[in-house]
Copies of this chain bind each other. A is one copy, B any other.
Amino acid sequence: MKESIISRIQPDLRRIEEEIELLLTTSVPLISVVGRYIMGSGGKRLRPLLLVLSARLCGYQGSHDASLAVVFEFIHAASLLHDDVVDHAKFRRNRPAANTVWGNQAVVLVGDFLYSKAIHLTVGYNSLRMLEVLSEATTRMSEGEVLQLVHADNIEISEEEYIEVITRKTAVLISAACQIGALFGGNDVQREKALKTYGHNLGIAFQLVDDTLDYTGDVKELGKPVGNDIQEGKATLPLICALRNGKPGDRARLREVFSSEQLRKEDFAEIKELVTRSGGLDYTLRLASRHIQTAKQALDIFPPHPTRDLLSDIADYVICRRM
């Protein structure tokens, strides 16, 4: 992350890390061990951080926000654990995926624990409205995960269907973190709506950039092999766009490689070339930029404030990030 952002978020990140450690302590040691493994593997803590900053921008000045922030890291970690089972993932963030270390069983059950614990922590904040937002978000998220499964190996997915999947899979939780931060920080409908919009657009942009990094990223920075999505049968926007704009011969070749069992290095290089040439990567990044603009504009209702600037800088960072 950019140095200028890091220095400003450091104290909050430290509080979040301490709270994660505290809340992972349970009477069942295996839960703490697997929990620490999935959450200790270099996550950005984007969701808890956005909650803390949203609350602050809405006027909150205390430190009772930490557990509520961790709720979002727990739910995110639970979904990563369950994703790894679903994707048969071998690696995540440069380390063996949790399921390859602990087995599918532990990974499914610890995911369930983290999810339950997150709800239980939120209940402690005595706000039905927060619970309403959170439980709607997790329900839509899980529908999105099933939707993605339904579209597995479907290269003919439309841009609209793809946007629906990433909205549910990624944007909904990020948006809920911002919205619940706003609810916790104050109780102003306009501000809540603005931060919800910020989070929603940031989330979509985040996933769009993620999907381009699967083509252009660096294995080391990314912590997983490039070409992972194609290998897993996920057609993301760069590919969807290439298929829409490519010449008939190129399209046939894209379909052929996409549906092959094993993706060879040279196949991926060829796909990457076709996707780049057809403008698929540019198109995806332009769309991400537009969402970042919308996210930043949503912050306009707030008066000038260092936290507003920070949220705006985080939005810019999402576009230029390399991991």
Contact = CB atoms under 8 A, between A and B. Distances in A.
Interface of A: 26-28, 30-31, 79, 82, 85-86, 104-106, 108-110, 112-113, 115-117, 119-120, 123, 126, 128, 131-132, 135-136, 138-139, 141-143, 145-147, 149-150
A86 B109 contact: yes
Given A108-B82, A128-B128, A135 B123 contact: yes
Contacts of A136: 120
A28 to B, nearest CB: 5
Nearest to A145: B109
Given A119-B138, A135-B123, A146-B31, A82 B104 contact: no
Q: How many copies does the complex hold?
A: 2
Name the residue in A108, A110, A131, A132 with the highest tally of chain B Cβ atoms < 10 Å from its Cβ. A108
B85 A113 contact: no
Contacts of A105: 85-86, 149
Nearest to A125: B128
Contacts of A138: 112, 116, 119-120
A28 B79 CA distance: 18
Given A85-B105, A112-B142, A126-B128, 19 more contacts: A26-B143, A28-B150, A31-B146, A82-B109, A86-B108, A106-B149, A112-B115, A113-B139, A113-B146, A119-B131, A119-B135, A119-B138, A119-B139, A120-B136, A120-B138, A123-B128, A123-B131, A123-B135, A128-B131
Contacts of A86: 104-105, 108-109
Name the residue in A116, A117, A135, A138 with the highest tally of chain B Cβ atoms < 10 Å from its Cβ. A116
Contacts of A109: 82, 86, 142, 145-146, 149
Nearest to A152: B105
A-B pairs, 3 with minimum CB distance: A120-B135, A113-B142, A116-B139
Contacts of A82: 108-109, 112
A105 to B, nearest CB: 4
Contact of A131 (B26, B85, B113, B131): B131
A37 to B, nearest CB: 14
Contacts of A146: 28, 30-31, 106, 109-110, 113
B30 A150 contact: yes
Contacts of A104: 85-86, 104
A184 to B, nearest CB: 15
Contact of A117 (B27, B31, B119, B139): B139
Contacts of A112: 79, 82, 115, 138, 142, 145
A28 B146 CA distance: 7
A143 B85 contact: no
A117 to B, nearest CB: 5
A128 to B, nearest CB: 6
